[in-house]
Chain A
Amino acid sequence: MKTLSLRNLGKTYFDPYAGAHVTAVHDVSLDVEPGEFISVVGPSGCGKTTILNMIAGFIPYSKGDILLDGKPVHGPGPERGVVFQSFALFPWKTVLDNVGFGPKMRGVPKAERDRIAREYLALAGLSHAAHRYPNELSGGMQQRVGVVRALANNPDVLLMDEPFASVDAQTRMTLQEELTRIWQERKPTVIFITHDVAEAVFLANRVVVLSKGRVLDEIAVDLPRPRVWDDLVRDDHFKQLSARVLQMVRAA
């Protein structure tokens, strides 16, 4: 497990249609401890997805540093797993082969990567779907596959970009509860991007509020685990925290 730190990270790009430079991320510094679950919230256009894409290595950054265990990162790599809003499962591979894709890229033999994939599918309650294709699964099941596919590769950091935004409300709550359960079992380091304040508070140890490409504030979430919605919807402390975060996001 390694520490991820962002040092004065910034992103400026040239918009040829506007004919001007646009700054999506001004100056973001953040240290993430191993095993920490961080939610990043903010209104649309605050730069949260841009930050995640830079950490993932999908887009280059224009200033500052992204350090993983002290070493700068450039380009995508298996030590930073990504869960996409669009799921991004390979439609021509079975669920088993999707989850086994990371180990396959590392050169793990077929039998061993199937064993790894089955272990992670069991973790998400998906053992029965191993030989199905993604398009045969519901949205919620597809994203469970997306999460365990990233986890099965044992990344140092798990980057999640609004992963539950395109599933229905009930499924979303189930997925959130499952994610907290899996996190407790495996303790991966997670950076979770969302615009949903309740989701951010429910999942995280720490909520980072972004505004116009800067960190506005951070709030520690000291709610006990395991967290389940049935308890937390009535929990005063959860309500207070959510209200505080919401206030900041709306003022952002």
Chain B
Amino acid sequence: MNLMLQIWAGYARLTRRWPGIAAVIPFIPVLALWTAVSEAGLFPRAFFPGPADVVRAFFTLTYKGILPDYLQDSLIRLATGAAVGMALGIPLGVLIGTSRWAHRICWPVLLFFQAIGDIAWLPILLIWFGFGLTTMTFVIVYTVLFPVVLNTVLGVESVPRDLARAALSLGASRARVLWEVTLPGALPNIITGLRNGLGYGWRALIAVEMIVGTSGIGFMMFDARRAGSTVEILLGMIILGLLWYIVDAWILAPLERATGQRWGLVTS
């Protein structure tokens, strides 16, 4: 019992010093189980490879230059999609959030198209644009757009009316109110929207790469299926999870905290 408490205390001190460790530790049993199952030889190696095989594949593919190239392709597509999605989504969200007429007109349309999921667009997009970058970009922008728009609207509408009134009474023009009050007030929600949008976009991207891709992580995994290479499929899956963890936990979540919690807009 005493030993358990000591282990707990040691863990608490360790994770306070290096918070990253707290994220790694839960994966130890998963890895252990995976190793045990693969080493036990229940399944053929080629069918169920172990962690060591995946690590080896990682180094081989990195050495050949395939993995870095594909990773770069996927990330650039995601970044482009996110940038275009924000460039369209934030102004649209602000417009819908500030104008009652824009809200009445756009809201039902928005909900209608939100229901048509990203992948549901693929058949018609393939006819229109063929297998290529246009189709992929469309799907990612589409996926990122809705969470950004909907959360921006939510954010704009959540800014207390008195704040805009206060700014006007202090001599701000309507444009200054937008810049000084509406946008900062909506910012925590906009970041939440971006966080959700990137999460959905990342998943949509992989799916689209599998179908229309000629490169990218999704393509790598689907291509590996053709060659029957389970190692590369598993490697792709692990990369997807790891990469998202890094983007979300190290970039987006701190950004969200830095705005909302600092200002007391979000209760921590």
Interface residues, chain A, with chain B CB atoms under 8 Å away:
56-58, 75-78, 80-82, 84, 86, 88-92, 101-102, 105-106, 133-136, 149-150, 153
Contacts and interface: CB of A to CB of B under 8 A. Distances in A.
B169 A80 contact: yes
Contacts of B262: 133
Interface string B240-268: 00000000000000000001001111000
Interface residues of B, number: 23
A13 to B, nearest CB: 16
Contacts of B162: 84, 86, 88
A92 B173 CA distance: 19
A133 B261 CA distance: 11
Given A82-B165, A88-B163, A88-B165, A134 B171 contact: no
A86 B169 contact: no
Given A84-B162, A86-B162, A90-B163, A78 B171 contact: yes
Contacts of B163: 88, 90
Nearest to A78: B171
A134 B264 contact: yes
- Interchain residue pairs A-B with the least CB separation, the first 8: A135-B264, A78-B171, A76-B168, A105-B171, A88-B162, A91-B263, A102-B170, A88-B166
Nearest to A105: B171
Interface stretch (B130-138, B176-184, B231-239): B176-184
Interface of B: 160, 162-163, 165-173, 176, 180-181, 184-185, 187, 259, 262-265
Contacts of B264: 91, 133-136
7 contacts: A58-B165, A58-B168, A75-B168, A76-B168, A81-B170, A92-B187, A133-B263
Contacts of A82: 165-166, 169
B202 to A, nearest CB: 29
Interface centre among B160, B171, B184, B185 (most CB of A within 10 A): B171
A153 B168 CA distance: 12
A105 B160 contact: no
B171 A153 contact: yes
Contact of B171 (A89, A92, A102): A102
Contacts of A92: 184-185, 187, 259, 263
A56 B264 CA distance: 28
Given A78-B169, A84-B165, A102-B171, 19 more contacts: A57-B169, A80-B169, A81-B170, A82-B165, A82-B166, A82-B169, A88-B160, A88-B163, A89-B166, A90-B181, A90-B184, A91-B263, A92-B185, A101-B167, A105-B171, A133-B262, A149-B166, A150-B169, A150-B170
